[in-house]
Every structure is written in C-alpha cells, then in structure tokens.
Amino acid sequence: MKWIETPPGASAAFHMGLDAFLSEKVLDEPVLRVYRFPDPTVTFGFRQEMSQCLLPGAVERYSLNLSRRRSGGKAILHHRGLTYSLVIPRKLMNGDVLNSYRKICDPLYRALKSWNPSLEFDCLQGTAYKDNPVCFLESSVESFSIGGKKVVGSAQRRTRNNILQHGEIQLFSPNISGSEIFRTSNPSECLKLDELKQGFLLKEESAEVLRGVAGDIRKEFEKTFGNSKTYALKCRNYNCLGPLMAQLRILPEREPGAVLLGKNQWFPQFEIGGSHHAKRSR
C-alpha cells in the first residue's frame, strides 16, 4: 500500500483533483491518504447543484471553500474533521458495492472504535434513497454513528481501473450548524441539520489527537491491505495550479456562469514520487 502525505494547506480542489487523478491511474497497489481541509469546506456529489444545497449567502458568511467530488452522494460540510481517501485497483477488490464498502470500512471502523468505544458501524441493507441534499442527514451502508448520530460518511467512484472511496470523519463538533448553510425542504429536516453538531467522535481537539487518529487509520488499513511506504507527492508546474484550482473552486460544469472545463481537463498533473523514509506518526 502507498501512503501519500499532502501539503497541510492544500485546498479542497487540490484534494478532489488528486482523488480524480489517482482514480484514473493504473495502480499496482492501494493508495491511502488521510488529511484535513484547512478551512470550512463543502463538497458536493458529482451531480448535485450547489444552489439546491446551500442557502443564499452561506458561502460568503462562513467563507466556505467549495469543491465537487468525483463520487456520488450528497453534500458534506468538512469542518474540524478528518478526511480519508483510498484508491484501490479493481483487480484487488472483486464483488459488489456493498462488499467493497464493508472491506474498506472495516479497518476504518477498527481504528476509530479504539478512540470512541460507542462507535457503531451502521451497515444497513438497502437504505432507501432520500431526496435530501445532505449526506449526514441519513445513515447508510457505509456510515458510522454514535448514539444514532452519523459521524462518518463515505462515497465511491468506480472507474475502469480503480475504486475510489473517500469519506469524512466528523472528529470534533463543527462550529457551524448545518441549518445555517444547507437548504432543507421541511422543518423537521431543519431540526436534524441543527443536530448534526451533536454527532462527533471526540471532544478535545489537539494536533496530537489528529496525528494519533490518522496513524491508527493507517495502521489498521495496513492490516487489511498490506504494509505501506510513505510517498512524496510531486506536482508538475505546481505554480500553474493556482488558476486551475481557482476554477475548480467555483464548481465547473454545473453552475450557471461557471467556467466550463471539459472532461479530464481538470485533472492536475500529479506524480507520485519514489518512496522516502517513512516517518510514522506513531
């Protein structure tokens, strides 16, 4: 397995672009990343309309970063959490969507359970698709919860070569209430959006805890997918990515007036460098 460390200040667009890039590559082993968005960020499923998910003015009011995922699913507020991303060659992951979720979620669950024994793996069969725009409002096959509150949500994109699974771990209670940024169609959902702040894994935030959780996730994934080496991320023409990332930030392809980027044009040209000496966090 490859473990890739990305720059701490990398934007949402950078991370979504890297996920997209990796999901198209021919890989010989899984690639795992655990990172944190530097600022409050909302990511959208590949087909969601921003205007149908967010309240008017929410972006400006909370200085939200925005980006689109390659995966499906619904909008997620990334704030005071950790994000994981696993890209695994399809040849290493046979079977249907549910089985692949179980195989990928199992090590994640083991890692997070060690930090909060109340964590539950929902593992629901055949959850009905509901027409609300927010991921954390509903439990599904891949979600983890504490006391009925969802704290981890994941999504997949399947390409010819790989399965990309990424997800958000709501590590600490977000400072922003869901009802302040997301649109809802009825009052009961509005109440649930307020309750999203009550779903979190840990209480006390510290850099040490963040490193510890990330290290445990890596360790548990190694048990399932093999030992990992740390790889540096090289980015050709890194300085040229600024304008590209600025374009990504305004959600190409689906929002009126947005810059239209053709398919594949928005994949930054990343390279995975040779492995260097692993500096394990634990």
Partner 1 sequence: MDATQFRYTSDHEWVSQPVDGICTVGISDYAQQELGDIVYVEFPDPPQIVAQGESCATLESVKAASDIYAPISGIIQEINSDLEDNPQLLNQSPCSEGWIFKLKVDEESDIESLMDHAAYLAFLEQA
Other CB atoms within 10 Å distance of the CB of residue 12: 25
Asked if residue 160 binds partner 1 (CB under 8 A), the reply is: yes
43 Cβ neighbours under 8 A, 6+ residues apart: 12, 16, 66, 67, 68, 69, 75, 76, 78
Q: Which of residues 181-240 bind partner 1 (CB under 8 A)?
A: none
The least distance separating partner 1 from the CB of residue 194, rounded to whole angstroms, comes to 26
**Least spacing, CB of residue 243 vs partner 1, in Å:** 25
DSSP-assigned beta bridge partners for residue 67: 43
Residue from 142, 168, 189, 216 that binds partner 1 (CB under 8 A)? Answer: 142
How many angstroms separate the CA atoms of 140 and 255, rounded?
28
Residue 150 touches partner 1, criterion: CB under 8 A: no
In this structure, the number of other CB atoms found within 10 A of the CB of residue 224 comes to: 14
Q: 135, 190, 235, 240: which is the annotated catalytic residue?
A: 135
Among 141, 233, 258, 261, binds partner 1 (CB under 8 A): 141
Q: 97-113 vs 207-225: helix axis angle to the nearest 10?
A: 140
Given the complex with partner 1, which of 20 and 241 has the nearer CB atom? 20
Q: In whole angstroms, give the CA distance from residue 65 to residue 30.
A: 28
Give me the count of residues in the chain: 282
Work out which of 98, 191, 232, 246 binds partner 1, going by CB under 8 A.
98
Binding partner 1 by CB under 8 A: which of 17, 30, 40, 45? 45
Output 45 or 268, the one with its CB closest to partner 1: 45
Q: Are strands 82-89 and 120-121 parallel, antiparallel or unpaired?
A: unpaired
The residue count for binding partner 1 (CB under 8 A) is: 26
Stretch that binds partner 1, among 27-35, 102-110, 156-164, 210-218 (CB under 8 A): 156-164
- Window of 6-14, 34-42, 121-129, 267-275 that interacts with partner 1 by CB under 8 A: 121-129
4's tokens: 């890739």
Name the residue among 173, 165, 66 with its Cα closest to residue 108: 165
Q: How far is the CB of 129 from partner 1 (least distance, A)?
A: 5
Q: Which residue of 35, 44, 101, 109 would you call a contact of partner 1, by CB under 8 A?
A: 101
> Beta 41-44 vs 229-235: how paired, if at all?
unpaired
Which residues make up the interface to partner 1 (CB under 8 A)? 45-47, 70-73, 94-98, 101, 126-127, 129, 140-142, 155-160, 263
**Active site (catalytic) residues:** 135
